[in-house]
């Protein structure tokens, strides 16, 4: 199928893309931009990801009412690029995600592909590690995390630490309920890798957020 990747820049959309590329024809990446974009996915990083991908990348600004705006965007992808399905990194239903994308695409003729949907969390994280994706923590929430998690790479050790947090206080190891957020610095489908030698840490009421200071693209 001809598909578009709903790209947030985080690990879930990247892993979903990695899996979808094995079965479908990825025509483009689209970043849906809300009026108040999330600081958990730094805009500077997303812009470099768009360059690193070296594939068609769209910035689609949404306005209220969001359901209508989303639907118009999906229909435009279908009409202008022949998109038959949109790929998302959703893992499970919760009070925030719900079945939003399914409702948006209803009656548009565009299918929804969710390669990660309801998969075992540990299996997904192990697959992430095996995929070659390089992912860092960009936002972590209190009281579960401290600021030293910011900038940390998801690897075997951090996965063990996430499992320990899950066992002690129920943190979802994929962060599916907002416990943490990530950004991808490199991927098998990136033409270049992102380097971030310096960033700032901000302490907020609910957690800690990263602000990139120095960023660059490196050849692979």
With beta carbons less than 8 A apart as the criterion, state whether 214 and 196 touch: yes
Region 121-219: CATH code: 3.90.1490.10
pLDDT recorded at residue 99: 78
Q: What fold is seen in the domain 2-113?
A: Rossmann fold (3.40.50)
Whole-number mean pLDDT of the chain?
Answer: 95
DSSP-assigned beta bridge partners for residue 4: 28, 86
pLDDT recorded at residue 100: 85
pLDDT tens per residue across span 48-87: 999 999 999 999 999 999 899 999 999 999 999 999 999 9
pLDDT recorded at residue 96: 55
**Phi, psi dihedrals of residue 160, rounded to the nearest 5°:** -60, -40
**Phi, psi dihedrals of residue 137, rounded to the nearest 5°:** -80, 130
pLDDT recorded at residue 34: 84
With beta carbons less than 8 A apart as the criterion, state whether 4 and 27 touch: yes
Asked whether residue 189 carries a pLDDT value surpassing 80, the answer given is yes
User: Residue 103 contacts by C-beta under 8 Å, 6 or more apart in sequence?
Assistant: 67
For the chain, give every domain's residue range. Answer: 2-113, 121-219
């Amino acid at each position: 199928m001809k598909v578009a990747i709903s790209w947030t820049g985080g690990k879930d959309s990247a892993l979903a893309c990695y899996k979808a590329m094995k079965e479908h024809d990825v025509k483009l990446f689209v970043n849906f931009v809300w009026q108040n974009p999330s600081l958990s996915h730094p805009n500077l990083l997303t812009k470099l990801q768009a360059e690193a991908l070296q594939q068609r990348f769209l910035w689609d600004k949404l306005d209220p009412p969001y359901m209508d705006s989303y639907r118009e965007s999906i229909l435009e992808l279908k009409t202008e690029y022949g998109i038959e399905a949109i790929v998302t990194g959703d893992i499970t239903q919760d009070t925030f995600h719900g079945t939003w994308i399914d409702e948006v695409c209803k009656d548009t003729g565009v299918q929804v592909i969710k390669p990660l949907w309801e998969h075992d969390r540990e299996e997904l994280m192990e697959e992430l590690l095996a995929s070659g994706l390089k992912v860092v923590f960009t936002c972590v929430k209190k009281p579960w995390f401290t600021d030293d998690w910011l900038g940390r790479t998801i690897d075997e050790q951090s996965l063990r630490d996430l499992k320990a947090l899950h066992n002690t206080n129920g943190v979802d190891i994929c962060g599916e309920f907002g416990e943490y957020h990530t950004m991808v610095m490199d991927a098998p489908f990136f033409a270049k890798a992102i380097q971030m030698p310096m960033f700032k840490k901000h302490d907020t009421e609910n957690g800690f957020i990263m602000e990139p200071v120095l960023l660059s693209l490196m050849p692979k």
